[in-house]
Amino acid sequence: MGQLKQLARELNQQDLQDLVAGCLRQAEKEGASQAEANASLSSGLSVTVRMGEVETLESQQDRCLGITVFFGQQKGSASTTDLGAAAVADTVRKACSIAGFTTTDPCAGLADAELMVTEFPELDLYHPWDLTAPRAIDLATRCEAAALAADRRIGNSEGATVSSNQGLSVYGNSYGFMGVKQGTSHSASCVVVAEQDDEMQRDYWYSSARDPVELMDLDELGRKAAQRALARLGSRKIDTREAQVLFPAELARGLLGHLVAAVSGTAQYRKASYLCDAIGKQVLANGINVYERPHLKKAVGSAAFDSEGVATVDRDLVNEGALQGYVLNSYTARKLGMKTTANGGGVHNLELEPGQASQEELLKQMGTGLLLTELIGQGVNILTGDYSRGAAGFWVERGEILYPVHEITIAGNLADMLTGILAVGNDLDVRSGVRTPSLLLGEMKIAGN
């Protein structure tokens, strides 16, 4: 793929570093006591093929500069996509002007200087894919064709998509710190519709990786999407009841995401969490560990430093079910009288430690209950922990899948759900910066007929 190469001919890493350094110098001249700037280049190609025809072909090239200045404890920010000298100078002046209209905040300011990263481990995040539009079209067509050929009941498609993105960014601040990030992200997905009599069921599958050679074989991906859609034919409603629920790995990620939201610094200092003041308390079932590993090679969430330049480090978020700390950037840490956990910009490879059981073994352990395949809606209240979402899946008895079910709602409270986890699978899903295996939860309310 040549988009970033084209951008690089105009602006390279040194140019971005010079740009950031120039912004910081100008901010100092304007009277700012502290400043930070981030300059980035990114490019991408995405193709969607539907029923053998190209539906969308998108090519993007982006550039951006953001500057934040502090005049004492007053803060101003501005950004621009025009990296010309005049536009950059004007952006710095605007940030300084904005700061003059903001109220004083005793927690405002850069992260502490001694926390800046000084060692940059090789994370192996940059694997460019020389993907041309014709090649992307060919790959997406092949993926969809494999899905459509899997079974005569696959009668329609919402398309197969192949995409590739790469980016380069430079962050610097008035401590003299300058850090560079460069990475790639590639993905493929397929969504198809299975038809039988008057019924239609839709499902999908996807693959993503830093390195294109690690993407799932596209024929196999298409067939898996087809198999998932076919498995949902014959879906029926069930009566309202209470039963255990098995969250597959790709959906269990959301549960860990809700936990992260509840223990984030913003939720904590605003007292907007069902887990306020929860350090040392039980937030997951006994024996469950959650840790952050920011330096895994090729992983989606890997980074040597966070969005404030703070060095990332391995840490345990949950140990044996008990919360060990919050998810903090420098601002929220100061609001709480604590130290940043290097989570400016989010978590870095947060992983719920996998267990030993396969999904089949988890079904056997569950006996009777619901295996989820889809969650619908956003019915999660982090303040109260109340959880209610539309769902679809499979009804299970004696550890065996009996039939697909739809038009149901599952409900509970996150406090009970997460401390009531009965078993953890061995099928860790690494396609995100939040990594989880399948999770078997205790009884939840399942609303149906």
H helix count then E strand count, the chain: 10, 17
Final residue before a domain boundary, out of 198, 230, 262 = 230
Q: What is the pLDDT of residue 12?
A: 87
Residues 133 and 276 in one domain: no
| Residue 221 shares a structural domain with residue 248 | no
Residue that is last in its domain, among 175, 196, 230: 230
Q: Are residues 82 and 95 in the same domain?
A: yes
> For 313, how many CA atoms within 13 A lie in the half-sphere containing its CB?
10
What's the CA angle centered on 444, arms 443 and 449, to 5 degrees? 120
Q: Over the stretch 106-134, which tens digit does the pLDDT of each residue have? A: 999 999 999 999 999 999 999 999 999 99
Domain count, the chain: 2
Instruction: With cut-offs at 50, 70 and 90, classify the pLDDT of residue 4.
Output: very low
Confidence of residue 408 (pLDDT cuts 50, 70, 90): very high
- Percent pLDDT > 90 in the chain is 96
CA-based radius of gyration for the chain: 24
Q: Quote the domain boundaries for residue 240.
A: 235-449
Angle at 293 between CA 300 and CA 316, to 5 degrees: 140
What pLDDT does residue 154 have?
A: 97
- Residue 15 makes CB contacts below 8 A (sequence gap 6+) with none
Averaged pLDDT of the chain: 96
The two tokens of residue 442 are 């205790």
The last residue of a domain, from among 201, 230, 259: 230
pLDDT tens sequence across 143-174: 999 999 999 999 999 999 999 999 999 999 99
Are 439 and 425 within 8 A, CB to CB?
Answer: yes
pTM of the model: 0.94
For residue 449, what pLDDT is reported? 87
- CATH number of the domain within which 142 lies: 3.30.2290.10
